């Protein structure tokens, strides 16, 4: 090929790369035609060699490298063994003697890897073995630039053999891809691993700091080892689709577990190997680019599983070697922020892949380090929330707490006695991090923080963390219950004092800004208390009182009468009072103070966020404690049974207080979405079907709320929907006069619907009222849990549903009306078509005909 042809390609490249105003569309089209013709060149190998040697255009070099790769795949069967070998040797020599641009180097390395993979079909991996040996020599004895190139080629070969599902563009069928991968795993993967680890050991022993070119080489070597340890060892029995799913996991943030074959046992079981990996990390940890792959290697080694450690004694031996090396490293370093994710992952993997009994047999320093690091992350995460958008501390904390969650829920792991003090330390640290000074270390809130808290539901935002903190606290119930009670009692008295001063006019309502800190403290104490006492869950799910709470109450063996009198506020004497009831009693007092403040016109002073938290706590507590089903408990505390069991005096008292709370919040906090919504959810929890014998239906506070709604309250549509849902649930199981009173809300709603339909005016207010009324019927539909043949609720719903076709026809241009109407039909289908009565189904289906 003469120089004029290269000049033609370079000129065409200049046309394509030039700014639009510098060339005409015809010139650009001609340039594109030149390269289209170039890409279809047959037997282009000599041509591409000359371009690589002579051209100075990056675009032309890139096209030549692409053509080489495409031609190899396309014409492989036409090439002789000597042609392929000559091309491979030329490309490697070219890269070793020339400083090629990164894009060109990567493309040519990939081409060499494809040659090796295709050749392995015929020679059984002979050329691959020879090339790896050649690359090993280069790494051991050549200039550092050549060493880096050799590492890059090893990585390219590994990539080509690893991701079999995504390697279909080299012209091989799936079965061949898989066979080649398994051959590479059997013959070369362990060899590459051992060699690379040996080179890393030499670098560590050299004592040279990982800087400049040395750091770049070290990173490539670490990346090779990381790739081996993250290798997806997949069974040949799996289908291509399932293997593709495994490889998607491989490419995600979380690599699969390290599952090695028996042939690896002589390598991976050496204690010196694990110790070396921790030495390597200590050597590179000051360099963030090197610390990341180094930590990934340690995380992967923590997940060793499969046949290589199938014998329990081998697994125990490996865990001992790993933990000893890990603890030796931790004794010499103070982990920095960027290391926390990796270290938290190490704990998570060890606890996930080794049995609880094995973990419990580790040295005490293992648990103590977990405790110290968790507390460190708690402090860091709280600071991180207010300073920036980084999430390193919070992500690390979540992983540490994932480990704690496993530890505290395993029955055959650490004993309760062993876990108690570490759990107390974690609980105290978290509690202190959420309280303002002097009791805690919470930073002062800025106006922006307060705004964010109002916009975000912190109960959801922190729910996973709080659930684990609650489980940790239940491992030391006496300590945690006492601390929470003491804090609540103190804050309750402060709240009482401040509200009374405002009510008497001795403290201006406008000067209530100093209450923000008190409200924030109460907000966090109550959230932690809620997760300590109960388990938050989906509404309607049967949740038991935590066994630790029952056992704690049984061990206290307090006086029943004294405990009940303290609960209802007849006495403030805490002698011989059950600690759980003391805590619940203090929560009920705080609830009473809020309700009194709202009724006294101090609603603008009280925090809506705190109000929502109180309702949320009472909701999840009621879901577990009110009228527990005796049949699901192996043992029950007599005090809890007397206070909250079916038919007890305590149940009527609690339901009355909680219904009164919901009513007060809806009347005075209707403009606060979170506070009002949690209040209505508290009502529906009280009314739900597993509380069939609860006294809510006859509760005067609940019935007064029903009359208030029927009289035309100004609640937003979403709240009215939830309110009617509670009415419908309660009515389903009520009887006689009480049932008729509850059904009166549906009657009023039906009359309102008819009045709106019969109105001649078609204005926006009318349409809005119609949409709200349809939403209320959706609430009723959700609440109708059992439907009889002549059930009044069903007949009234059918009456409303019968009007839907006319509503859709009349308001078909108004989505705000049509969507609630269609939603009502859809919700009704779910309820009505599940009815055991064929007449109900037929009536409903008739509406669609």
pLDDT value at residue 455: 54
Q: Does the pLDDT value for residue 241 go beyond 80?
A: no
Distance (Å, rounded) from C-alpha 498 to C-alpha 507?
Answer: 8
Band of pLDDT at residue 614, cut at 50, 70 and 90:
very high
Mean pLDDT on 339-355: 96
Q: Mean pLDDT score of the chain, rounded to an integer?
A: 87
Task: Give the per-residue pLDDT at 740.
Answer: 83
d(CA 600, CA 452): 29
Reading the block at residue 690, the tokens are 């597993």
Highest mean pLDDT among 411-415, 510-514, 611-615: 611-615
pLDDT at 522: 96
Q: Please give the average per-residue pLDDT across 342-348, as a whole number.
A: 97
| Contact yes or no for 467/430 (Cβ under 8 A) | no
pLDDT, tens digit (0-9, with 9 covering 90-100), for 420-434:
999 999 999 999 999
Return the pLDDT at 825. Answer: 85
Burial class from Cβ neighbours inside 10 Å (0-12, 13-18, 19+) for residue 360 reads middle
Better-scored residue on pLDDT, 845 or 752: 752
User: What was the pLDDT predicted at 471?
Assistant: 96
Residues in the chain: 849
Is it the case that residue 706 has pLDDT exceeding 50?
yes
Tens digits of residue pLDDT in 543-595: 889 999 999 999 999 999 999 999 998 988 999 999 999 999 999 999 999 99
pLDDT tops 60 at residue 168: no
Beta-carbon count within 10 A of 148 CB: 19
354-404: pLDDT as tens digits = 999 999 999 999 999 999 999 999 999 998 887 767 789 999 999 999 999
* Lowest mean pLDDT segment, chosen from 235-244, 458-467, 817-826: 235-244
Could you read off the pLDDT of 628-657 as tens digits, one per residue? Answer: 888 888 999 999 999 998 888 788 899 999
The answer to whether 815 and 768 are in contact (CB under 8 A) is: no
Averaged pLDDT for residues 53-67: 92
Residue with tokens 């009920």: 588
Beta carbons of 109 and 158 less than 8 angstroms apart? no
Q: Which of residues 125 and 488 earns the better pLDDT score?
A: 488
Is pLDDT at 224 greater than 90 in this prediction?
yes
761-771 pLDDT, tens per residue? 888 888 888 99
Report the C-alpha gap between 690 and 130 in whole angstroms.
72
Quote the pLDDT of residue 789. 45
Three-state secondary structure call for residue 395: helix
Give the pLDDT of residue 239: 57
Greatest mean pLDDT among 217-226, 408-417, 782-791, 828-837 lies in 217-226
pLDDT cut 70: percent of the chain above it: 90
What angle separates helix 58-75 from helix 45-54, to the nearest 10 degrees? 160
Beta-carbon neighbour count of residue 713 at 10 Å? Answer: 15
3 is written with which tokens?
């120089």
């Amino acid at each position: 090929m003469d120089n004029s042809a290269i000049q033609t390609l370079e000129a065409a490249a200049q046309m394509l790369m030039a700014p639009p105003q510098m060339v005409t569309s015809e010139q650009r089209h001609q340039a594109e035609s030149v390269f289209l013709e170039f890409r279809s060149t047959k037997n282009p190998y000599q041509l591409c060699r000359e371009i690589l040697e002579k051209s100075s255009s990056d675009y032309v070099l890139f096209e030549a490298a692409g053509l080489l790769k495409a031609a190899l795949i396309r014409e492989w069967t036409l090439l002789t063994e000597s042609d392929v070998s000559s091309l491979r040797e030329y490309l490697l020599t070219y890269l070793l003697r020339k400083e090629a641009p990164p894009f060109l180097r990567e493309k040519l390395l990939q081409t060499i890897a494809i040659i090796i993979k295709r050749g392995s079909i015929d020679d059984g991996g002979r050329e691959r073995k020879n090339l790896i040996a050649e690359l090993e020599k280069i790494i051991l004895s050549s200039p550092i630039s050549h060493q880096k190139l050799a590492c890059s080629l090893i990585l390219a070969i590994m990539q080509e053999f690893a991701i079999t599902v995504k390697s279909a563009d080299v012209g091989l069928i799936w079965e061949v891809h898989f066979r080649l991968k398994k051959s590479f795993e059997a013959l070369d993967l362990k060899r590459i691993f051992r060699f690379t680890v040996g080179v890393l050991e030499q670098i560590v022993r050299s004592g040279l700091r990982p800087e400049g070119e040395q750091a770049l080489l070290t990173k490539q070597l670490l990346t090779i080892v990381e790739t081996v340890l993250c290798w997806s060892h997949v069974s040949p029995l799996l289908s291509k689709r399932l293997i593709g799913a495994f490889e998607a996991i491989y490419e995600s943030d979380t690599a699969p577990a390290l599952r090695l074959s028996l042939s690896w046992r002589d390598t991976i079981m050496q204690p010196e190997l694990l110790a070396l990996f921790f030495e390597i990390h200590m050597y590179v940890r000051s360099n963030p680019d090197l610390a990341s792959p180094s930590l990934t290697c340690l995380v992967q080694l923590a997940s060793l599983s499969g046949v290589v450690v199938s014998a329990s004694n081998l697994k125990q031996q490996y865990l001992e070697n790993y933990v000893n090396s890990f603890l030796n490293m931790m004794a010499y370093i103070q982990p920095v922020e960027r290391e926390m994710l990796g270290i938290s992952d190490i704990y998570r993997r060890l606890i996930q892949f080794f049995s609880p009994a094995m973990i419990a047999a580790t040295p005490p320093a293992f648990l103590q380090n977990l405790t110290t690091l968790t507390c460190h992350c708690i402090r860091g995460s709280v600071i991180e929330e207010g300073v920036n958008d980084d999430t390193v501390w919070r992500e690390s904390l979540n992983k540490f707490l994932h480990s704690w969650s496993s530890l505290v829920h395993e029955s055959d792991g650490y004993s309760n006695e062993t876990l108690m003090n570490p759990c107390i330390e974690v609980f105290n640290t978290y509690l202190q991090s959420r309280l303002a000074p002097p009791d805690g270390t919470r930073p002062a809130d800025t106006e922006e923080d307060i705004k964010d808290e109002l916009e975000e539901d912190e109960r959801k935002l922190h729910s996973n963390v709080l659930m684990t903190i609650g489980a940790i606290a239940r491992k030391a119930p006496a300590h945690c219950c006492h601390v929470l009670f003491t804090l609540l009692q103190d804050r309750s008295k402060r709240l009482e004092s401040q509200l009374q001063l405002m009510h008497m006019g001795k403290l201006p309502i406008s000067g209530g800004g100093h209450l923000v800190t008190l409200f924030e403290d109460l907000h966090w104490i109550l959230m932690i208390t809620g997760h300590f006492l109960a388990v938050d869950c989906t509404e309607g799910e049967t949740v038991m009182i935590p066994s630790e709470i029952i056992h704690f109450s049984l061990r206290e063996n307090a006086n029943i009468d004294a405990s009940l009198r303290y609960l209802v506020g007849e006495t403030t004497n805490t002698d011989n009072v059950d600690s759980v009831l003391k805590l619940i009693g203090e929560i009920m007092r705080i609830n009473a103070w809020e309700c009194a403040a709202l009724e006294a016109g101090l609603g603008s002073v009280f925090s809506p966020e705190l109000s929502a938290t109180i309702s949320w706590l009472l909701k999840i507590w009621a879901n577990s404690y009110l009228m527990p089903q005796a049949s699901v408990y192996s043992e029950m505390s007599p005090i809890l049974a007397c206070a909250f069991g079916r038919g007890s005096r305590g149940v009527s008292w609690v339901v009355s207080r909680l219904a009164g709370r919901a009513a007060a919040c809806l009347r005075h906090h209707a403009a606060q979405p979170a506070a009002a919504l949690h209040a209505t959810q508290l009502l529906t929890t009280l009314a739900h079907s597993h509380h069939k014998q609860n006294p809510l239906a006859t509760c005067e506070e609940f019935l007064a709320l029903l009359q208030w709604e029927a009289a035309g309250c100004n609640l937003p549509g979403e709240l009215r929907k939830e309110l009617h849902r509670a009415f419908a649930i309660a009515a389903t199981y009520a009887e006689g006069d009480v049932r008729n009173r509850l059904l009166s809300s549906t009657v009023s709603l039906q009359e309102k619907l008819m009045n709106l339909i019969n109105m001649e005016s078609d204005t926006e207010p009318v349409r809005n009222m119609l949409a709200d009324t349809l939403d209320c019927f959706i609430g009723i539909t959700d609440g109708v849990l059992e439907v009889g043949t002549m059930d009044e609720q069903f007949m009234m719903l059918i009456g409303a549903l019968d009007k839907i076709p006319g509503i859709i026809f009349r308001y078909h241009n108004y989505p705000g009306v049509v969507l609630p109407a269609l939603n009502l039909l859809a919700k009704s289908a779910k309820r009505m078509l599940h009815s055991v009565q064929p007449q109900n189904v037929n009536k409903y289906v008739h509406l669609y005909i």
